[in-house]
Amino acid sequence: MNFPLPPAAITSAVAARTLEELAWDNGFGRLPPRFYTKLAPTTIPDPYLVGFSTAAAELIGLDHAQARRPEFVAAFAGNHALAGIDPLAAVYSGHQFGVYVPQLGDGRAILLGAVAGTDGRAWELQLKGAGKTPYSRMGDGRAVLRSSIREFLGSEAMHGLGIPTTRALTVIGADEPVFREAVETAAIVTRMSPSFVRFGSFEFFYWRNEHHELRELADYVIDTFYRACRDEPQPYLALLAEVTRRTARLIAQWQGVGFCHGVMNSDNMSILGLTIDYGPFQFMDGFNAAHICNHSDEHGRYAHNMQPQIGHWNLYCLGQALIPLTGDVEATQAVLETYKHEFAQAMGELFHAKLGLATSRDGDEALIERLVVLLDQDRVDWTIFWRALSRLQVEAKSPQDDAALRDLFIDRAAFDGWAAGYRARLRGEASVDGGRAARMNRINPKYVLRNHLAEIAIRKARGDDGARDFGEVDRLLRLLQRPFDEQPEFDSYAAAPPDWAGNLHLSCSS
């Protein structure tokens, strides 16, 4: 997605900038003070570099060598203010686990400003874990190394999969103790996004009856990111329609790779349709349609199979907040109902591509549904199955030809029945094995950021076995930037998870 810069922020692209050559702007900071509090990050003692994404750095033309400078670590730990930054913490509210919370905001994140990218896009840079703000409530404003590594890798892994997401430039660690369920050490992750405005940003002003500020925010979003909406007869309805479309297609992509967000509160939903706020997320191993990845989600509100419904629910929260601007309840509801069609269409397109089907025909929906039920019943590894399916041959001589696939299932006879129907469907469109396999492998990844892979990198970075080792963080980062490619040296990273992976628990504590 291409988000153009506000005219005032356009600068000439520089191929390899130093820290001092980054051209900062802060369009959001030009909104009135009601939208944020301006403050500097809290310094942290003896910071050190844990991870650095060269791909993210290239978005803003930052020279890779800058990461080796002490000034880089100091700047993105919040210890040194780069010239031109205008740091602030934004205010917002939102529905958390279905309950409206009147004031939230950046409780541990501080926006430094935006940098003009090499392709004309503006990227806001935000330090997560940068210390207390007026919106920290009872929190300490810090993030821990564990969650910061997960967000860093998760953001870049999602981009590698082609799924809209915020990005992550770097992780900086420090030995400052942070008290969670246990004593951990602090870290700061630098997040990048065209904007960090979320559904809850609009809810904040709606529920306070501050309709002037609500309009200012909507106008800022339209004029900066959705300029085509300005030319529509009803710009605010057009804005809602575009956010609805993007959100529906985003969540379809999540479902396609077995991604569980974990905390789909309305304040964790991006107005740009990006994956945002990586908390207790997970890429599923064995497929469980009702999987709950967040240990804090006692009632399963954000289970995997609930994500499409919750996305729609959150859009209703946004739609309600925009009614003072749209002025038409029925028209707003009609826009929101387009979510169902957009999501269904996106899922249909996605599953056809995952199955290597070049056409759409009657009976396809039933074929897909039967497969999903089988995968769910037998807890088949989601990523391994789809990759292995590309090797199925249309003309099989015996069930043994499918041995690698059949052995993923407990009920092999049920799989044989489904495979017979799938083969018949492939023959119906004269599918060619080699071409189909190539297409499938471009959409079904071989590698995802499995929980146990992230956990190994975290344990090494913490130095659980002795000295700190950040090599695994970098190794995973490089691997996950090309998740669809055969990378033989990393074949072990595509294997089924070890037994101990089932004992890993994720929660909102970070």
Helix ranges (DSSP H) in 379-411: 382-389, 403-406
* Token couple for 183: 């004593």
Catalytic residue among 25, 106, 267, 277: 267
Residue type, 252: A
User: Is 267 an active-site residue?
Assistant: yes
Region for 248 from its dihedrals, namely left if φ exceeds 0, alpha if ψ lies in -120 to 50, beta otherwise: alpha
Task: Outline where DSSP puts E strands in 43-182.
Answer: 48-52, 88-90, 94-96, 99-101, 109-116, 122-128, 143-144, 167-179
Q: What are phi and psi of 138, to 5 degrees?
A: -95, 5
Total residues found in the chain within this entry? 510
Residues 51 and 171: their CA atoms lie apart, in Å, by 5
Short-list 79, 60, 81, CA closest to 18: 60
Torsion of CA 142, 143, 145, 149, to 10 degrees: -150
**Packed helices 211-225 and 235-256: angle between N→C axes, nearest 10 degrees:** 70
Q: What is the 3-state secondary structure (H, E, C) of 97-124?
A: CCEEECCCCCCCEEEEEEEECCCCEEEE
Residue type, 37: T
Please list the active-site residues: 267
